[in-house]
Each structure stands twice: as structure tokens, then as C-alpha cells.
Structure 1
Amino acid sequence: MDNAIQTSYNEAKKLYERHGIDVDAALARLSQIRISLHCWQGDDVKGFLRKDQELGGGLAVTGSYPGRARRPDELRQDLDEALRLIPGQHKVNLHAIYADTDEQVELDALEPRHFAGWVDWAKERGLGLDFNPTCFSHEKAKDGFTLSHPDPEIRRFWIDHCKASRRIAESFGRELGQPSVTNVWIPDGFKDSPVDRLTPRARLMEALDEVFAEPIDEKYNIDAVESKLFGIGSESYVVGSHEFYMGYALSRGIAVCFDAGHFHPTETISNKLSSWLLFGREMLLHVSRPVRWDSDHVVTMDDELLEIARELVRGELLDRTHIGLDFFDGSINHIAAWVIGTRNTQKALLRAMLEPIGELKQLELDGDYTSRLALVEEFKSYPYGAIWDYFCASQGVPVREAWLTDVKEYETNVLSAR
């Protein structure tokens, strides 16, 4: 290890130790947190099952940065490059349309064998795999409804697809020895104000009950449902609202997904996490960055990311939280987006771990709000960067912006040939 990195780490460590913070323990804890990298950042949410299918479900990717993955092997190659530049051991989050198969297979007929290439790749690298049914970009979703569709035949198709997705995820968990999180998100809703808000939600509830009725070993699969405030084509009414899924998940004992971009522009999720985990067992967290609406920008070190990390660390909620990324930016290098987003998420968690939490809680309990505020503010300028540099070096990944050189070389040698 570089002497300057070691020296800076030693000096920073002394400052933190004055407040009783065990820096080595924080780094050991950080190294155990698996963040799920979303595969759809690598190819602009195209997928491989239906190459001629237009992106739907109110989703949109802007930009045409060259070099996006066109095949499963290219996407895995790009993920390898990204993971090589990120400290720690992580997971990859797959959507159903990323099946690795030459078969012409429909979504409701997908089986674990269609993802064998992904499992073999993940097993070789010690990675976990998460999963999502793809309830968009399909002719049976072109009118904006899936699991809550009024047509029972169309609804049956999506129910069967979600059932198949849970079986696939369970197989991932069995093969890889770590649970797979299956997250159900649907685009269902109306562009203009509906007359009947209740009936579509009743249909959704019944459909979900059928999806989750099949026994799946929780040791291998964790079910989650994800809400959204609105989308393109569902500006006035979303069937799967936050309130709907909160009630559903609590009553059915499954996890809720909190996506940082799926709420009102002035609403944050950091203040919701502790409330949910007082009542719910587990939580899926989609780290994203909204800009005015759910635009899914690459995660930066903004105030909300830090507040999310602080809530998880201060409340000791990490063991019950599954963290994944969810953004798709086609205007910049696809691999750089993964690296920036993941490393920022890790940095935020580290900064939260390097706060004198016990001391701050005692000050708050004592009513010494002056000291609480002063200490919180002073720790914002503590040298966490020196601790982060040491963590990267000790994990064998590039320190600071050195990773960008590797990405640029990869772009020249690999991406430019696509």
C-alpha cells in the first residue's frame, strides 16, 4: 500500500478514535454490505428477449452514449469491469428481459434454465443475483395495465409471469447460497383522473395474492413490492401507490421497496425508513437521484443520500435492508455510471458509520441540542476521505479518480468496437 495513504489513514483514525469510533470495525462492516448493481444501466433497458421491442411502461432513457451492451456476454463483461473498480463483494440485479437464451420464449414461460449463463458467471465470482419481473415493454402492457388489467386473460399472463419470476429467483438463491430479492413493480395507472380508483386496486390485490400464494423458501427468495407516485401515462393515478403497498406488505408479511425517486419532488424517503421497519420485517432500498421527477439520475453524494445512510446506520437497520441501485443514464459512459453510483453509496454509508452515534444520542437524550448540532456539523469536515482511500487500497481497487483511467482505457479497447 502507498505510504501516503497509510499515513493519512493513521492520522485520520486517531481523530475518530478520540470520539470512541472504531474505524477498523466500520471498514469491516462496510466490506460486508452487498449493493445490487442494476443490469439495465448497461444497455439502456433494452434487454435481450425481444430486441425489436420499444421501451414502455412510462420509462425513458435519454442519450446515446456509444458502447452499450448488446448481448448477455457483453453485459457481463461490462459488469466485470465495473465490479473490478468497486470495493467489496456485491450483487447484480436482473430483469426478466435479460434472459440468456436463444429460445423464443414468452415472459410467462421463463424458467431458471434461461438464466443459467448468469448463474454460472455469478457463481464463479461469488456474486448474488436479484430479480424483477418485467411488467412493461410488451404488447400486453401497451394500454398501461398489467396485474390490475380488467381483462382476466391479460391479467393471467402477468400473474403467471410474476410466478415464474419468483421461481427463477428462488433458484438463484439455491445455486448461489444467498437470498435473491424479487421486486414487483408495475406501471398500471391512468393519465387523467379516473372515476373508479378502488376496483383496479382490488384486482391488483387479488392478483398479488395469487402470485405470492405459491410456497417459496424465504431462505432463497425475499419478496418485495415497489410503489410509484406517477409516471408517463399515469400522471393522475397509479394503482400501486405507496399507501396501497404499505398496507399490502404489512398484511402479507413481505418487504416494501423504497425508491428514492418514486415520491413527491419535495418528499424524501430517509424519514420513512425507521417507521417502516418498526412494523415491517425487511426493506428493499432503491438508491436513485430524482431531478424534479423520477428521472433516475446517477447517484451523487447529495444530502438525501447521506440522510438515507445515516438512518440505516444510526437505527441499526442495515441487517434488514437490501440495497440496490436504480438509474439509467444513456448520456454518459455506462460503466462509469455504475462505478460512480455504487462508490457514492458506499461512501455515504462509511460517513454515517464514522459518526459518534452513541455520543450524539446521549446528547439528544440529555437535551443538549447545542452540542448535538455542533458535533454533527463538525464531523462533516472530518477526514473520511482518508479512510475511504485506505479502504479502496486495502480492497485492491483504484483510489480516488484513478478508476476513471481504467474506464477510459476499456472504452477505447472494448466499447469503441461495438
Structure 2
Amino acid sequence: MNEAIEASYNEAKKLYARHGIQVDDVLRKLSEIKISLHCWQGDDVQGFLFKDKQLSGGIAVTGSYPGRAGTPAELRQDLEKALSLIPGQHKVNLHAIYADTTEQVDLDQLEPRHFQNWVDWAKQQGLGLDFNPTLFSHPKAEDGFTLSHKDPEIRDFWITHCKKSRRIAEYFGKELGQPCVTNHWMPDGYKDAPVDRLAPRERLRDALDEIFSEEISEEYNIDAVESKLFGIGSESYVVGSHEFYMGYALTRGKSICLDAGHFHPTEVISNKLSSVLMFTDQLLLHVSRPVRWDSDHVVTMDDELLDIARELVRGDLLSRTHIGLDFFDGSINHVAAWVIGTRNTIKALLRAMLEPIEELKKAEEERDFTTRLALVEEFKSYPFGAVWDYYCAQNGVPVREEWLTEAKDYEQQVLLKR
């Protein structure tokens, strides 16, 4: 441990201790939080199941930064590098199109064996796996409808795929000893205003009921459903709206996925967390950064990220919240994007944990809003950076921007040679 880092940490501990904050305990709690790194940042959402496919379903990746992963082995190599630069022990989030197999199979034919290499790798790395059925970039999704499609044959194809996905997730949970969170998102919707908004939602409800009809223990698999306000090609109407999935999840005992980029540009999800978790046991949180629309930029430590972290910490909601990342930026180093987004998410949680929460709550209950405001503002300049540096050093990962040197070296030695 660098002496300067340790000395700064010890001085910071003294300052925080004045307000009853035991920093060593905070770091122990922080180390228990797992962030799920999304595999699709590493290859611009291409996947490996189908060759020469075009992105569809309202998904677009901009930029052509060199070095994206072209095989499952390359993607795992890149993930290993990213994880070596991030403190803590985490998870990796897979989409169905990232199957590692030489078999020619369609989405409705996928089995756990097609992901065996991922499971073996996760065991070796001490990681958990999360999962997502892929309901986009496929001929049966070209008209913008999947589980709510009016054609029963197409609808049945997607129902079967989602059922298979849940069994794959169950296998992940059993093999890795921790539950797999399986998130269900589909792009269904209309570009222009529809006449009939009800019928597609009825079909989606019934399709989801059929998918979830098979009982799978939450010891192995946790189901979540994800809403969206609009997308490319579904600007006027999305079947799976927030209200639809809120009602569905609460009446079916499923988790709700709140994505930071899936709401109105002036709407934030930090204000929704405490409300949603009053009525559901668990929540899936997709940390992203929208810029004017659902553009899924790399996560920065902006006000909304900090407010999300504060809500989770102040309400003691972390144990019921599964945190995953969801962005895809093809304009910067793919590995660096993971590192920046994940480190910022953990750093925001640390900042929230280093607030005098009980003192703030007491001031609020006593209507001492002056003290509340004063402390909130003063703690913004408390030396959380010294605590973060110590946490990184303690976990054997680079301190501050030192990680960038390693990422740049990796780019020269590995990424640019692909």
C-alpha cells in the first residue's frame, strides 16, 4: 500500500468519524455490491449467433473505434481486462445472441450447452452471470413486433425463445451459486399513433403469462420486465410502457427494470426507486446516461447517478436492487467504456455511503432544514476521493487515472492487432 494513499485515507477517516461514519465498515459493505457488466459494450451489440446481421429494434451504435471483440474468446479477454481495473467482485450480463457455439441454431433452439464456455469462464473468474432473451436483430422482429405480434406463429417463436432463456438462466444460477437476473425487453411499437393500443398489450400480457407459466425458483433465476418510452421506429407507441410493466410486475410477482434512459428526457428514475420498492420485493436497475433521448452514453458521475446512489443507500434498498450497466458507445475504447462506467457507479455508491444519513434524517424529522441543507452541501467536498483511492489500492486495481495507462497498453498490444 502506498504510504501517501494510506495517510490520506486515515485523515479522511477522522473527518468522517466526527459524524459517526465508520469508513472501514463502509468499505466492507461496498465490497459486497455486485455490478453487472453488459457484454454488448464490447462488440457494439453484434453478438455471435448470427453472422452479418444488421442491428434492428430501435438499437443503433455510433462510432467505429477499432478493436471490438469478434469472437466469444476475445470478448471474455476484454472483460477480464476491464474487471482487472475495477475494484470488487462483479457479474457479467449476457444476451442470448452471445451464445458460444459452432452449432447452427436459432433463438428458439438455444440450450444451456450453448453457453457452457461462458459458465466455465465465470467459474474460473469467480463471477456471476445475468441473462437477456434477444428480441431484436432477427427476421421475425423486422416489422417491429415480437411477443405482441398479431401472427400467432411469430408470437410463439418468441415465447419459446423466452422460455428457453429462463432455463438457461436457471442453469447459470445453479452452476454459479448465485441467482441469474433475466431481463425481458422487447422493441414492440408503432412509429405513428395507432388506432388500437389495447390489443397489442393484451397479446403481450398473455405471451408473458405463457413464458412465466413454468415455475423456476428465484434461488436460481429472477425475472424482470423492462419498459421504454419510445425508440427508433416506435416513436409514438411502445406496447411495453412503464404503466404496463408496473401493473404486470406487481400483479405477477416479477421484478421491474428501471432503465435510466427509458423515460422522458426531463424525467428521472431516482425519484421512482423508493415508490417501486414499497410494492415489489426486488428491482433491476439499468444504469445508463441518456442525452436528450435514449442514447445510452457511458455513465458519468452526474447528478442523476449520485441521486440514484443516494436513494438506494438512504432508503437501505441496496439488498433488494440488482444493478447492471446498459450503454454501448462505439466511439471510444470499448474496454475503457466499461471501466469508466463501472468505476463511476461504484464511486457514486461510495459517496452516498459516506454521508451522515442518520444525522440528516434527524434534522429533517425535526424540521431543521437549515442543518439538512448545510450538511448535504458540505459533504459534497468531503475527501471521498481519498477513501476511493484506498479502496482501489486495497483491491489491487489502479488508483485514479493510472488504469488508463493499462487500458491504452492493452489497446496497443491486443485491440489494434485484431
Q: What is the TM-score of this pair, normalised by structure 1?
A: 1.00
Q: How does 1:162-201 map to 2 (within 5 A)?
A: 162-201=162-201
Which residue in the other structure is 2:373 paired with? Answer: 373
Q: Where does the alignment leave 5 or more consecutive residues of structure 2 unmatched? A: none
Q: Hey, what's the Cα distance between the residues in 2 that align with 1:413 and 1:394?
A: 27
Q: Hey, what's the Cα distance between the residues in 2 that align with 1:147 and 1:106?
A: 16
Which residue in the other structure is 2:60 paired with? Answer: 60
Q: Hey, what's the Cα distance between the residues in 1 that align with 2:301 and 2:219?
A: 33
Q: How does 1:13-412 map to 2 (within 5 A)?
A: 13-412=13-412
1:205-245 deviation digits (Å, cap 9, x = unpaired): 00000000011121000000000000000000000000000
Q: Hey, what's the Cα distance between the residues in 2 that align with 1:242 and 1:24?
A: 39
Matched AA of 2:10: N
Question: Could you tell me how far 1:125 is from its partner in structure 2?
Answer: 1.0
1:239-295 deviation digits (Å, cap 9, x = unpaired): 000000000000000100000000000000000000000001100000000000000
Q: Secondary structure at the match of 1:166?
A: helix
Q: Secondary structure at the match of 1:285?
A: strand
Matched AA of 1:155: R
Q: Hey, what's the Cα distance between the residues in 2 that align with 1:282 and 1:43?
A: 30
Q: Hey, what's the Cα distance between the residues in 2 that align with 1:366 and 1:112?
A: 56
Q: Secondary structure at the match of 1:294?
A: coil
1:38-67 deviation digits (Å, cap 9, x = unpaired): 000000000000021100000000000000
Matched AA of 2:197: R
Q: Hey, what's the Cα distance between the residues in 1 that align with 2:291 and 2:193?
A: 25
Q: Hey, what's the Cα distance between the residues in 1 that align with 2:25 and 2:109?
A: 46
Q: Hey, what's the Cα distance between the residues in 1 that align with 2:271 and 2:25?
A: 27
1:6-42 deviation digits (Å, cap 9, x = unpaired): 0000001100000000101110011110000000000
Q: Secondary structure at the match of 1:231?
A: coil
Q: Secondary structure at the match of 1:297?
A: coil
Q: Secondary structure at the match of 2:92?
A: strand
Q: Hey, what's the Cα distance between the residues in 2 that align with 1:51 and 1:309?
A: 39
Q: Secondary structure at the match of 2:130?
A: strand
Question: Could you tell me how far 1:356 is from its partner in structure 2?
Answer: 0.1
Identical-pair percentage: 78
Q: Hey, what's the Cα distance between the residues in 2 that align with 1:320 and 1:51?
A: 38
Question: Could you tell me how far 1:331 is from its partner in structure 2?
Answer: 0.1
Q: Secondary structure at the match of 2:37?
A: strand
1:327-364 deviation digits (Å, cap 9, x = unpaired): 00000000000000000000000000000000000000
Matched AA of 1:91: K
Q: Secondary structure at the match of 2:296?
A: strand
Q: Hey, what's the Cα distance between the residues in 1 that align with 2:415 and 2:16?
A: 43
Q: Hey, what's the Cα distance between the residues in 1 that align with 2:28 and 2:294?
A: 34
Q: Hey, what's the Cα distance between the residues in 2 that align with 1:342 and 1:266?
A: 24
Matched AA of 1:264: H
Matched AA of 2:22: D
Question: Could you tell me how far 1:126 is from its partner in structure 2?
Answer: 0.8
Matched AA of 1:400: R
Question: Could you tell me how far 1:128 is from its partner in structure 2?
Answer: 0.2
Q: Where does the alignment leave 5 or more consecutive residues of structure 1 unmatched? A: none
Q: Hey, what's the Cα distance between the residues in 2 that align with 1:24 and 1:289?
A: 31
Q: Secondary structure at the match of 2:262?
A: coil
Matched AA of 1:357: I
Q: Hey, what's the Cα distance between the residues in 2 that align with 1:415 and 1:199?
A: 48
1:85-105 deviation digits (Å, cap 9, x = unpaired): 000000000000000000000
Q: Secondary structure at the match of 1:213?
A: coil
Q: Hey, what's the Cα distance between the residues in 1 that align with 2:13 and 2:336?
A: 30
1:160-205 deviation digits (Å, cap 9, x = unpaired): 0000000000000000000000000000000000000000000000
Matched AA of 1:232: I
Q: Hey, what's the Cα distance between the residues in 2 that align with 1:326 and 1:51?
A: 23
Q: Hey, what's the Cα distance between the residues in 2 that align with 1:57 and 1:79?
A: 26
Pairing 1:8–2:34 present: no
Q: Hey, what's the Cα distance between the residues in 2 that align with 1:266 and 1:80?
A: 36
Matched AA of 1:25: D
Q: Secondary structure at the match of 1:171?
A: helix
Matched AA of 1:115: F
Matched AA of 2:252: R
